[in-house]
Amino acid sequence: MRAGVLHLALLFLFFYPAPVFAQHEADGRVMKMHQKALAYYHASAYEDALKETEKALKADPLFIESWLLLGDIHALKGNRPDAITAYSRAIRLNPDFFPPAFYILANLQFAEGQYEDCITAYETYLRYPTVKPAEAARAEKNMKTARFRMHALANPVPFEPLNLGPEINTEGYEFVNYISADGEQLYFTRRTPKGIKRDEDFFVSTRVNDSVWGPARELGPPVNTEGDEGAICISPDGQYLFFAACDRPDGYGSCDIYFCRREGDRWSEPRNTGPEINTSYWESQPAFAPDGRTLYFVSNRPGGHGGSDIWISLLQPDGRWSQAVNAGPVINTAEAERGPFIHPDGQTLYFSSKGHPGMGEGDIFMSRKDEAGNWSPPVNLGYPVNTPADEVTLVVDQQGRYAYISSAMEGGSGMQDIYRFRLPEAARPLAVTYMKGIVIDSISGSRLGADFVLSDLETGKEVVKSRSNPVTGEFLVSIPAGRMYALNVEKQGYLFYSVHFFIGDQAGIEQPYLRDVLLKPLQKDEVTVLRNIFFETDSARLLPASMVELERLLQFLQQNRALSVEISGHTDSTGSEAHNLDLSRRRAKAVYDYLTAQGISENRLTYRGYGAMQPIAGNETVEGRATNRRTEFKITGVDGDY
């Protein structure tokens, strides 16, 4: 703000000398004082310039040039209130004498929070025909921001920040990075002095109770090193860790993004994410989406909209990253966007921006992605969540009830502390719970690293694609509520596993969906239930929701060409035996026909209907009958080793 004021002040002094504009004739003695003041001003002797200008104005209070010069001096000295007074006096004497005074005055009033007055001054200035395009653009932007701030100040959002306490916050800087799906662990970056060099490392703290956290401990090697690491991000399933590091031998630019995989209870050695993400410029502040493949990050590379933008890259099936693309003009502005955080709902993005109208140097905003992948106009989280200071980092817990923010607000322990606050309703993400369990060999009981995919049965879209821990077999998936899902788990040498379930709108982390997965080794006569094959009532017509499962079955048979299988249909005991046998046979054939139409050899497939002859639950209840109505496949031949 001050730079703009100085720029116009110098224009006034150098390009609009007093004699050109003078309408009030000052006597020779006053003009000598003014010229002497100007000489001091050009020599940067501002105190002497101030004294001479005040002498001139005392001698002649109607001399506009000296009022303008007085405003310039006070603006240069950072004394905005007195500068505002001086420019206002000059304008009252003659509004048309020097039109840029309105613009300078408006900039000062904007910086001082005098929003109604600055809007009036900007609007007056814009009516003059000599306004420069850059000044008009800045005036329009500042008026939009001023109106927003007036509204925000008059309508504050609920905000009761709780400092997380001395186990986390120190005299230095703490920047919040990640809260685990169960809300039990908080990861953050701490910047502390180390000799003459700043040192940044990652720390983690475990919750003791609702408002108390345990002692923070360093994350340790191989992630923390003697160098600086920052902006840690952990995937919602806890299996991937991303962070930024600078000036490493394998780096592509000043700072690059690296990642690690979870191996048991340890992290793998960090690897550079590669040239699709990292460039010769600056890349940092990663955020990994719950779908297991979308990475958001910040870069100042060319091709963006401003100083730093949010970019997006997708993890490919071969483990490489797609070429990063810009998040677009709805999110990014001509100024800096930073600190992206994608909520576990997969749709709600929180980020910091200096370009969208806000309360200060940088504000936190929220945008939501629709089904077509388009972002909604960013919404400011409001005052006093956002302040005249620079808000950069914010994360939101799984349920969307609490947010964690780094702030330099008064009353903290140091330069930047981490606080928790209840998120205003309008800024909350979609309801989310999580599913977790362990993948186990059904015979040996050993734990397995397996691939799993969670799909939305209504849309057929993959919601999450990830892998269970290769040592512990554990997996965790964040799930938006209010949807029907299909879970498919597969591993080479095993039958794949499928199940479907509904997550209600009121789901929360207090009632997660818990399920251990038993994978059956590939061997003759093993049977698996295709739980996500659906038919119209009393019909063999496949419903669209079946496509997710059918595609998985097709891929399984394509990848395991040595297998021969029987597709079998089963019903409950309702209806006659003949009807049930016919219906189950026709349903099995519908699956058989789909597979053969997709190129699976008829020599590998058979189908059969068993009616109600092989129940796996009682037929006395609605749930039992639903369980008995199923499609299965059985391995009838294995030609090869697995």
- Give the model confidence (pLDDT) of 383-419 as tens digits: 999 988 888 889 999 888 899 998 888 888 888 899 9
Per the CATH hierarchy, to which homologous superfamily does domain 524-642 belong?
OmpA-like domain (3.30.1330.60)
| Mean pLDDT of the residues in the chain | 88
CATH topology (fold) of 2-154: 1.25.40
Residue 640 has pLDDT above 80, yes or no: no
Residue 246 has pLDDT above 60, yes or no: yes
Give the pLDDT mean for 20-46.
Answer: 82
Domains of the chain by residue range: 2-154, 162-427, 431-521, 524-642
Which of the four pLDDT bands, split at 50, 70 and 90, describes residue 1?
A: very low
Q: Which residue has the higher pLDDT, 512 or 494?
A: 494
Question: DSSP label at 604?
Answer: G
Q: Which amino acid is at 520?
A: K
Q: Which CATH number fits domain 162-427: 2.60.40.10, 3.40.50.620, 2.115.10.20, 3.40.190.10?
A: 2.115.10.20
CB 257 within 8 A of CB 286: yes
Domain 431-521, CATH: 2.60.40.1120
Closest CA to 274 of 311, 322, 330, 318: 322
Q: Which long-range contacts (CB under 8 A, 24 or more apart) does 136-140 make?
A: 138/4, 139/103, 139/106
Residue 231, classed as helix, strand or coil, is strand
Condensed to tens digits (0 to 9), the pLDDT of residues 521-574 reads: 999 999 999 988 999 999 999 999 899 889 989 999 998 998 999 999 999 999
* pTM for the whole structure: 0.82
**Partners of 75 in the beta sheet?**
none
Condensed to tens digits (0 to 9), the pLDDT of residues 117-149 reads: 999 999 999 999 989 999 999 999 999 999 999
Give the pLDDT mean for 298-315.
Answer: 94
Residue 37 has pLDDT above 50, yes or no: yes
Which of the four pLDDT bands, split at 50, 70 and 90, describes residue 25?
A: confident
612 vs 618: CA distance, rounded Å: 11
Give the pLDDT mean for 327-349.
Answer: 94
Condensed to tens digits (0 to 9), the pLDDT of residues 50-104 reads: 999 999 999 999 999 999 999 999 999 999 999 999 999 999 999 999 999 999 9
Which of the four pLDDT bands, split at 50, 70 and 90, describes residue 197?
A: low
pLDDT at 509: 53
Share of the chain above pLDDT 90, in %: 63
pLDDT at 131: 92
Give the pLDDT mean for 205-231.
Answer: 87
Give the pLDDT mean for 593-619.
Answer: 94
Give the pLDDT mean for 224-250.
Answer: 87
Task: Give the count of alpha carbons within 13 A of 145, CB side only.
Answer: 27
Residue 196 has pLDDT above 50, yes or no: no
Give the pLDDT mean for 208-222.
Answer: 89
40 vs 34: CA distance, rounded Å: 10
Count CB atoms within 10 A of the CB of residue 153: 14
351 vs 425: CA distance, rounded Å: 17
